[in-house]
Amino acid sequence: KQEVTQIPAALSVPEGENLVLNCSFTDSAIYNLQWFRQDPGKGLTSLLLIQSSQREQTSGRLNASLDKSSGRSTLYIAASQPGDSATYLCAVRQLGYSTLTFGKGTMLLVSP
Amino acid sequence: GAVVSQHPSRVICKSGTSVKIECRSLDFQATTMFWYRQFPKQSLMLMATSNEGSKATYEQGVEKDKFLINHASLTLSTLTVTSAHPEDSSFYICSAVAESSYEQYFGPGTRLTVT
């Protein structure tokens, strides 16, 4: 059974810092991996999707990497802003399945 | 990008009544939609997979007679919480799969409170 772990569970940084969120998964037979953002009381916004054949994806200040063989992904946020404050969720899709397995998320607080 | 809507965004109902939540893919067709439940400060828990034109597939521990799912068209799935109880109070989120990329797009969620 696939398990997804996110470290740290919570992170507080001052504005402007570069930061890294970590995600690990136990079964490397994945189809893709997605990073989401969730604001309190809201749904999920897809940030980046990495196919299993890819090593990284970039969107603006966000960069996500994937090392499938070691079961790890990182989300790098450059020059953090208070508006980046949210919970970041990592989810993987197994080969042969359409469902996603989610980690518990990292709650990020960026203070001005 | 692809948009998924949910209605209502918030609902308060009395114990014993039924509540229907709609999930729509606005600009793409989705043969597969998912329903999740999220408790405070917890991650999303998959409840069921909704397939257009066929019966939903429920995860272990989810009562199919209590959480009725209908996926009558390629853009609409509904979740009906029957005979709601206070313990059913939660945040319900749907997602739809874009067949071209297999990327999941999530709705904004529905906050259900059962009094």
- Residue B98 pairs with which residues in a beta bridge? B103
Nearest to B107 among A43, A49, A103 (CB): A43
Question: B103 and A42: CB-CB below 8 Å?
Answer: no
| Residue A50: band (very low, low, confident or very high) from pLDDT cuts 50, 70, 90 | very high
Nearest chain A CA: its distance from B58 CA (Å):
12
Q: Give the per-residue pLDDT at B97.
A: 87
Contact B15, B2 (CB under 8 A): no
Instruction: Return the residue in B44, B47, B62 with the most chain A beta carbons within 10 A, the one to mutate for interface testing.
Output: B44
- Do residues B99 and B2 lie in contact, with contact meaning Cβ atoms separated by under 8 Å? no
Calculate the average pLDDT of chain B. Answer: 92
Cα–Cα distance for residue pair B32/A12, rounded to 1 Å: 37
The residue whose two tokens read 């229907």 is B20
Handedness of CA B99, B32, A31, B38 (dihedral sign): positive
Task: Give residue-wise pLDDT tens across range B46-79.
Answer: 999 998 888 899 999 999 999 999 988 889 999 9
Over residues B23-31, mean pLDDT: 91
Question: What is d(CA B94, CA B77) in angstroms, rounded to the nearest whole number?
Answer: 9
Read off the pLDDT of residues A68-112 as tens digits, 9 standing for 90 and up. 999 999 999 999 999 999 999 999 998 888 789 999 999 999 999
Length of chain B: 115
Local structure of B21: helix, strand or coil: strand
Nearest CA in chain A to B5: A43
